[in-house]
């Protein structure tokens, strides 16, 4: 082994915030379905406690032996709307409390899957789950929720879009933290290890280990060495860095799966920023040559970054999945926060960026008096970008009560803090009131 | 299991002695050593073999960290697979 390579790895971990962001165990709850919700919840609790018994311990062992920080250990489960549909309960809080209790006892950071997939319409449990959301998000601590309202194959369920605007607004009135734990998706993926949108898809195996890597700081550092070079060199440098980062994710995932006696699923090759200095996606874009993220050229730079990360990572591991790309949350990224404060980054530009990044409008704080219909319309716009471009998009928007544009809200920890951003004041009410389904798009006449 | 022990910091008397004495006490065998000055820093790599498969890595890392503090250097130990994974196909 060459000394330089050993030193490079050490620098990546010690100085450039390279980490495994999450080891997420996906657990199917299909075999826990029961018409009696108490019995169903007992089975859910027992299954999670059995399958994930050693998840935290194994995560910590790997951290110690390989010297790689593993920031989160998480669980994702089958969408609860499917599991709870057999019961006559009108509110699914009990299911959420069961998940919360199991997660706390196991010591995991989050449990995802309080979810409903309603891209084409509602089934028995879907609307009950959606209407339980404000209370669930307020009264549980570790449960993460998601609702898929659209897909390229099905179109966009505008009834659900309208409903989610109201739900987000209602949840925000209970507590400003509620909406940090909920995502509204278009084209949600079944093997995503990242929160808040992780759930265990019904096409997955019974139990599986998925890993999400990170490392914006490593990419930024690598690009510092190629200042002034052409975009070809930038892309190549990002690819090579992503390759190394992904190899680490593959190793950690393989070892975790082996020790837990569970099949290894996928590596999610995401650049997930944190508010820590030097762990920012915005600063990568600025290193590429933008004075501030949000200015003209941002979308092009982000498109290159997102694509190069995938290209570099895809050969480095056996199976790639999840969301894979560059996340652009505002509150979790020091560079994004600075750009909003400097007036160079606004919601309109962020929306454009979501057409080429890995997900969507993420961790964006808006004034608490924003109408529910406006929030629904933002969801509709994001879903449309996802539907037409055949990609996952998501909305995690945070109306903050009694706060106005220019003020700041503090979430703490990895969630960071966010300046309140302005939204378009013109009404979208009449469109949202129409409801119905936006038909799925034609992509080509393939037959 | 094989692990790579790295020691990086300002050069001074007794670093190699301090580290190898600790390893000897723990019955950890040194398989290979390389030492160089990189960017003005003393940089030592040791390939070691830990025979006890159930060795408590967390405790070992902490003890090594403590010795590093005394010697004014940073000592890390990681299983070797991480380096191979990241740099070799």
- ipTM of the assembly? 0.86
With a cut of 90, say whether residue A288 has pLDDT above it: yes
Tell me which residue in B34, B43, B79 faces A66 most closely, judged by beta carbons.
B79
Q: Which residue has the higher pLDDT, A317 or A148?
A: A148
Chain A residue with CA closest to B44: the answer is: A3
Residue B46 is part of which domain span?
A: 2-87
Residues of A in contact with B74 (CB under 8 A): 14
- Would you call A251 and B34 a contact, using CB atoms and an 8 Å cutoff? no
pLDDT band at A389 (very low <50, low <70, confident <90, very high): very high
**Closest approach of B57 to chain A, Cα-based (Å):** 6
Asked if B38 reaches chain A (Cβ–Cβ under 8 Å), the answer is yes
**Closest approach of B88 to chain A, Cα-based (Å):** 9
Average pLDDT over residues A99-125: 97
Residue labelled with tokens 């569970």: A262
Domain A210-438: CATH class, spelled out: alpha beta
> Which of B2, B41, B83, B88 best probes binding to A when mutated, by most A CB atoms within 10 angstroms?
B83
Q: What is the phi/psi pair of residue A404, to 5°?
A: -115, 165
**Closest approach of B27 to chain A, Cα-based (Å):** 18
With a cut of 90, say whether residue A444 has pLDDT above it: no
Q: What is the phi/psi pair of residue A134, to 5°?
A: -55, -45
Residues of A in contact with B85 (CB under 8 A): 247-248, 250-251
- Would you call A5 and B87 a contact, using CB atoms and an 8 Å cutoff? yes
Three-class SS string for A23-59? EEEEECCHHHCCCCHHHHHHHHHHHHHHHCCCHHHHH
- Would you call B58 and A1 a contact, using CB atoms and an 8 Å cutoff? no
Q: How far apart are CA B20 and CA B67, in angstroms?
A: 11
With a cut of 70, say whether residue A241 has pLDDT above it: yes
Task: Give the largest CA-CA distance in chain A.
Answer: 66
- Would you call B57 and A64 a contact, using CB atoms and an 8 Å cutoff? yes
**Closest approach of A14 to chain B, Cα-based (Å):** 10
With a cut of 80, say whether residue A446 has pLDDT above it: no
pLDDT band at A398 (very low <50, low <70, confident <90, very high): very high
Domain A26-186: CATH class, spelled out: alpha beta
- Would you call A66 and B84 a contact, using CB atoms and an 8 Å cutoff? no
What is the pLDDT, as a whole number, of residue A433?
98
**Closest approach of B13 to chain A, Cα-based (Å):** 22
From the list A308, A331, A348, the residue with the least C-alpha distance to A411 is: A331
Q: Which residue has the higher pLDDT, A116 or A275?
A: A116
Q: How far apart are CA A55 and CA A68, in angstroms?
A: 16
pLDDT band at A162 (very low <50, low <70, confident <90, very high): very high
pLDDT digits (tens, 9 = 90+) for A49-95: 999 999 999 999 999 999 999 999 999 999 999 999 999 999 999 99
The number of CA neighbours under 13 Å toward the Cβ of A30 is: 11
The domain spanning residue B24 has which CATH number? 3.30.70.260
Query: What does the block give as tokens for A361?
Result: 């409008």
What is the pLDDT, as a whole number, of residue A252?
94
Q: What is the DSSP letter of A440?
A: P
- Would you call B85 and A251 a contact, using CB atoms and an 8 Å cutoff? yes
Query: What does the block give as tokens for A238?
Result: 């990002």
Asked if B39 reaches chain A (Cβ–Cβ under 8 Å), the answer is no
pLDDT digits (tens, 9 = 90+) for A298-339: 999 999 999 999 999 998 998 999 998 899 999 999 999 999
Asked if B49 reaches chain A (Cβ–Cβ under 8 Å), the answer is no
Q: How many residues does chain A have?
A: 447
Residues of A in contact with B45 (CB under 8 A): 1, 3, 6
Q: A–B: how many Cβ contacts below 8 A?
A: 64
The number of distinct structural domains making up chain B is 1
> Which of B2, B34, B86 best probes binding to A when mutated, by most A CB atoms within 10 angstroms?
B86
What is the pLDDT, as a whole number, of residue A273?
92
Stretch 7-36 of chain B: residues touching chain A, C-beta under 8 Å: 8, 34, 36
Residues of B in contact with A250 (CB under 8 A): 85
Residues of A in contact with B83 (CB under 8 A): 1, 5-6, 9
Percent of all residues in chain A with a pLDDT value above 70, rounded to a whole number = 100
Residues of A in contact with B76 (CB under 8 A): 10, 67
Q: How far apart are CA B40 and CA B11, in angstroms?
A: 9
Query: What does the block give as tokens for A23?
Result: 């080891």
With a cut of 90, say whether residue A5 has pLDDT above it: no
Q: Which residue has the higher pLDDT, A5 or A208?
A: A208
Residues of B in contact with A64 (CB under 8 A): 57-58, 61
For chain A, the domains span 26-186, 210-438
What is the pLDDT, as a whole number, of residue A445?
76
What is the pLDDT, as a whole number, of residue A1?
62
Backbone φ/ψ region at A103: left (φ over 0), alpha (ψ -120 to 50), beta: alpha
- Other CB atoms within 10 A of residue B2 CB: 13
pLDDT digits (tens, 9 = 90+) for A340-384: 999 999 999 999 999 999 889 999 999 999 999 999 999 999 999
What is the pLDDT, as a whole number, of residue A8?
87
pLDDT band at A447 (very low <50, low <70, confident <90, very high): confident
pLDDT band at A190 (very low <50, low <70, confident <90, very high): very high
What is the Rg, in whole angstroms, of the alpha carbon atoms belonging to chain B?
13
CB A386 within 8 A of CB A188: no
Chain A residue with CA closest to B61: the answer is: A64
Average pLDDT over residues A260-275: 93
Chain Cα centroid distance, residue A47: 25
Average pLDDT over residues A22-35: 97
What is the pLDDT, as a whole number, of residue B4?
93
Q: How far apart are the first and last CA of chain B?
A: 21
> 3-state SS of chain A: helix, strand, coil percent to 5?
45, 20, 35
CB A24 within 8 A of CB A198: yes
pLDDT digits (tens, 9 = 90+) for B26-69: 899 999 999 888 778 889 999 999 887 777 888 888 999 999 99
């Amino acid at each position: 082994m060459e000394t330089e390579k050993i030193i490079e790895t050490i620098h990546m971990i010690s100085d450039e915030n390279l980490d495994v962001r999450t080891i997420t165990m996906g657990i199917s709850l299909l075999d826990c379905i029961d018409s009696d919700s108490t019995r169903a919840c007992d089975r859910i609790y027992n299954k999670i406690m059995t399958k994930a018994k050693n998840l935290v311990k194994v995560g910590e062992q790997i951290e110690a032996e390989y010297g790689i920080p593993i920031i989160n250990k998480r669980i994702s489960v089958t969408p609860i709307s499917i599991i709870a549909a057999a019961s006559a309960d009108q509110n699914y809080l009990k299911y959420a409390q069961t998940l919360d209790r199991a997660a706390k006892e196991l010591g995991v950071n989050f449990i995802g899957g309080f979810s409903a997939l309603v891209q084409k319409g509602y089934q028995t449990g879907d609307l009950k789950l959606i209407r339980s959301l404000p209370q669930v998000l307020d009264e549980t601590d570790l449960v993460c929720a998601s609702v898929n309202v659209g897909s390229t194959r099905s179109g966009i369920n505008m009834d659900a879009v309208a409903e989610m605007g109201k739900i987000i607004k209602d949840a925000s009135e209970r507590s400003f933290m509620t909406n940090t734990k909920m995502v509204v998706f278009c084209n949600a993926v079944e093997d995503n290890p990242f929160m808040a949108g992780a759930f265990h898809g019904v096409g997955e195996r019974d139990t599986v280990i998925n890993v999400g890597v990170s490392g914006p700081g490593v990419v930024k550092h690598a690009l510092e060495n190629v200042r002034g070079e052409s975009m070809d060199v930038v892309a190549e440098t990002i690819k090579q860095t992503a390759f190394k980062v992904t190899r680490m994710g593959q190793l950690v995932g393989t070892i975790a799966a082996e020790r837990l006696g569970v099949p290894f699923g996928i590596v999610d090759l995401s650049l997930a920023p944190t508010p820590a200095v030097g762990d920012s996606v915005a600063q990568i874009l600025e290193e590429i040559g933008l004075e501030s993220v949000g200015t003209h050229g941002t979308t092009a730079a982000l498109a290159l970054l997102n694509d190069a990360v995938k290209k570099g990572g895809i050969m480095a591991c056996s199976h790639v999945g999840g969301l894979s790309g560059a996340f652009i949350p505002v509150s979790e990224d020091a560079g994004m926060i600075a750009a909003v404060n400097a007036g160079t980054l606004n919601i309109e530009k962020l929306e454009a960026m979501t057409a080429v990044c890995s997900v969507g409008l993420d961790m964006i704080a808006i004034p608490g008096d924003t109408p529910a219909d406006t929030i629904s319309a933002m969801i509709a716009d994001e879903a449309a970008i996802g539907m037409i471009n055949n990609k996952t998009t998501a909305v995690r928007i945070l109306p903050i009560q009694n706060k106005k544009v220019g003020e700041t809200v503090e979430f703490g920890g990895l969630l960071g803090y966010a300046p309140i951003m302005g939204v378009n004041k013109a009404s979208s009410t009449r469109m949202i009131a129409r409801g119905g389904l936006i038909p799925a798009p034609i992509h080509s006449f393939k037959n | 299991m094989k692990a790579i022990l790295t020691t990086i910091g300002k050069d001074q008397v007794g670093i190699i002695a301090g580290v190898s004495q600790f390893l000897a006490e723990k019955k950890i065998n040194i398989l290979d050593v390389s030492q160089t000055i990189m960017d003005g820093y003393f940089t030592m790599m040791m390939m070691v073999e830990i025979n006890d498969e159930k060795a408590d890595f967390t405790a070992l890392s902490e003890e090594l960290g403590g010795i590093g503090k005394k010697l004014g250097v940073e000592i890390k130990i990681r299983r070797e697979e991480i380096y191979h994974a990241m740099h070799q196909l």
